Amino acid sequence: MTLKCGEILKDAIVKYSELSGYSDLFLDFNYNREKLSGIFGASRHNLKIEQISKSSYPKRELANILMRQNKGWNAPERVLENISKLTDEKSVVVTAGQQACLFGGPYLVLLKILTVLKKAKLLEKELEIPVIPLFWIASDDHDFAEISRAHIFDSRGEIVRLAIDYDKERKYPPVGTMSFDDTVTREVNKFMSHFPENDYKEMAVNSIEKYYSSGVSIVDAFARYWLNLLGQYGIVMLNPHDAEFKKLCAPFMTSVVDKHEEMKRVLNESNEWLTSQSYHLQVQKPESSMHLFAHFPERIAIHQRDDEFFARDKKYSQESLKEDIKANLLNFSPDVFTRSLLQSYLFPVLDIIAGPSEIAYLAQIMPLFDLFELPRPDITARLSATLIENKFEKLMTSLNLQYQDVVLDFEEILRTRQNEDFPDSIKLQINSIRQSNIEKMRELREISNRYDFDSKNIVEKYQRKMDYLTGELEKRLESAYINQSGSVKSKLERMRKALMPVNNPSERSIALVYFISRYGMNVIDFIDENLNLDSAGHQLIYLSEYHG
């Protein structure tokens, strides 16, 4: 059935199982959760809240830190009201996190934040207790390559890569210690030159130019940018690379040192179970890993060998490592495993919003919550979506293609559709020539047989030659037609580039500011309204439905 433009609904959902790149564990998490019930359990909120109520949290201290940080980022009143709710003894937290990426990062950051907000709002209504939406900026991370780049489309639809200078040979300190250098000004100017001239360019450019400049903290720029965009929704931002915050982390990090042997045993058992079920291990670390980092100032993993602990050339005993952590809090940070535990140690975390990779490593560490006597949080898959612009919706409709057709088996689709595009009238003419050739050769053989001349081999030889030449003619005509029209190939390639830029879903590549530059700030409200929290699949949001 050929769809008419507008018949593809804005709330269309594609099952993850119909797309590539999703692990068996993530698919079972969404569609066969009982297989993972031993790890993630059931979402029994009342039971989890009871467990949380029996734990102690430094809520007032945390609220003071969050208030100081968010006021410093000019957070609106709605954010400060949510922070105040944290001091309520019944309050719980829904959280997600992300690195402080350049220019706000890809629009999956928006999807994460909106998932946190939607989940917090839903739980607050259902449970009738304060639920705080918290976004953890991963400022202790040192993956500078990850945060140093962003992508947009230019006015011709070509992908533009923006990136501050990065030395791939260098080991970087935590991003929370770093500020932008002059290369960010160069990328801001480059960024501005690629936006189309329209009513929205100024607001898009201003939001970047205002927060991203030389000498500005990378984390501050990220936090201010997103609070400017989404602060009115109430999202609370946290920078964990903070001296006061680190004081609250010290008891947990020293307990990691004390429990390192037990952690090793629990992780081994967890990993063995996952592999026995044919699931992959998202994070594989050597058994010597302590799951903590030291900063020199570059971030170096701490390992254990016999009775010693070491980070690069520095050696510790168990006690001296604990003393160093207490004395130099900003010089230590959790790794990917212990960060989630730290969140639940400090905050009454009811729910963690996680992407496919995060869900996979959370599956590895869930038993560690029991080891540290922390309530196991619920895990909710972050919302996943592709924003499809009207011109590409029209292309999909005109070619009778679905999203999964374009992102999967693209070369096969391209080949098939190019063949389909070759006019039937030409195909019929060529087939007529083939049939005519067969008839002519049959006539020639009959004539030769009248004179007792065995022409079989000669006729077959010439028949094969004529078939080959006719086939070559057909190929060349088809190629010439496609090159002259350029229609299907160029359309499909443009559509593929829009949906899968740099061979990744656009949510993982394209910065939100690109869409703001074309549709204005209100496009955020439109995206929010059209994201379905109950979906178990990749959502397609058609911007043809957006009317500003």
Each residue's pLDDT tens digit, 436-493: 877 777 777 777 777 666 666 777 777 788 878 877 777 777 666 655 555 667 777 8
pLDDT at residue 519, rounded to an integer? 92
For the entire predicted model, the pTM comes to: 0.86
At residue 538's C-alpha, the angle toward residues 535 and 543, to 5°, is 100
CB distance 489 to 418 below 8 Å: yes
The count of C-alpha atoms lying within 13 angstroms of the C-alpha of 427, restricted to the half-sphere facing its C-beta, is 6
Q: What is the dihedral of CA 176, 182, 184, 190, to 10 degrees?
A: 180
What average pLDDT does range 198-215 have in this prediction? 88
CB distance 511 to 106 below 8 Å: yes
Q: Select the more confidently predicted residue: 25 or 3.
A: 25
pLDDT at residue 407, rounded to an integer? 84
pLDDT at residue 241, rounded to an integer? 97
Nearest to 40 by CA among 416, 453, 358: 358
DSSP letters spanning 337-397: HHHHHHHHHHS-EEEEEE-HHHHHHHHHHHHHHHHTT-PPPEEEEPPEEEEE-HHHHHHHH
Percent share of the chain, pLDDT over 90: 66
Instruction: Report pLDDT digits (tens) over 336-386.
Output: 999 999 999 999 999 999 999 999 999 999 999 999 999 999 999 999 999
6 pLDDT band (50/70/90 cuts)? Answer: very low
What average pLDDT does range 45-69 have in this prediction? 94
At residue 64's C-alpha, the angle toward residues 337 and 52, to 5°, is 50
Q: Which residues contact 466 (CB under 8 A, 6 or more apart)?
A: 437, 441
Q: Which two tokens stand for residue 167?
A: 């030395």
* Separation CA 4–CA 396 (nearest Å): 10
Residue 498 has pLDDT above 60, yes or no: yes
Sign for the CA dihedral angle at 505, 509, 515, 521 comes to positive
Instruction: Report pLDDT digits (tens) over 106-141.
Output: 999 999 999 999 999 999 999 999 999 999 999 999
Q: Which amino acid, residue 135? A: F
Nearest to 121 by CA among 296, 129, 279, 162: 129
Mean pLDDT of the chain: 89
Nearest to 260 by CA among 320, 325, 305, 313: 305
CB distance 37 to 205 below 8 Å: no
Q: Which two tokens stand for residue 212?
A: 């991203």
**DSSP 8-state secondary structure symbol assigned to residue 106:** B
Strand pairing class (314-316; 308-311): antiparallel
* Separation CA 95–CA 29 (nearest Å): 19
Instruction: Report pLDDT digits (tens) over 503-529.
Output: 889 999 999 999 999 999 999 999 999
CB-based burial, 31-65: b 16+ in 10 Å, e otherwise: eeeeebeebbeeeebeebbebbeeeebebeebbeb
* Separation CA 134–CA 120 (nearest Å): 9
pLDDT at residue 363, rounded to an integer? 97
What average pLDDT does range 192-204 have in this prediction? 82
Residue 162 has pLDDT above 70, yes or no: yes
Q: Which two tokens stand for residue 378?
A: 């619920």
Q: Which two tokens stand for residue 415?
A: 């080949």
Residue 5 has pLDDT above 70, yes or no: no
- Partners of residue 311 on adjacent β-strands: 314
183 pLDDT band (50/70/90 cuts)? Answer: very high
Polymer length in residues for the chain: 548
DSSP letters spanning 153-178: E-TTS-EEEEE----TTSPP--GGG-
DSSP 3-state of 448:
helix
93: phi > 0 → left, psi -120 to 50 → alpha, else beta; which? beta
199 pLDDT band (50/70/90 cuts)? Answer: confident
* Separation CA 421–CA 52 (nearest Å): 62
Q: Which of 85-94, 403-412, 499-508, 530-539 reaches the highest mean pLDDT?
A: 85-94
Give how far Cα 266 sits from Cα of 51, 209, 282, 287, 322, Å. Answer: 21, 48, 16, 12, 22
pLDDT at residue 11, rounded to an integer? 47
* Separation CA 318–CA 290 (nearest Å): 11
Sign for the CA dihedral angle at 51, 53, 58, 62 comes to positive
Instruction: Report pLDDT digits (tens) over 26-35.
Output: 999 999 999 9
Query: Cα 498 from chain centroid?
Result: 16
Residue with tokens 């202790």: 140
Q: Which residues contact 359 (CB under 8 A, 6 or more apart)?
A: 25, 26, 29, 379, 381
DSSP 3-state of 285:
coil
Sign for the CA dihedral angle at 219, 224, 230, 234 comes to positive
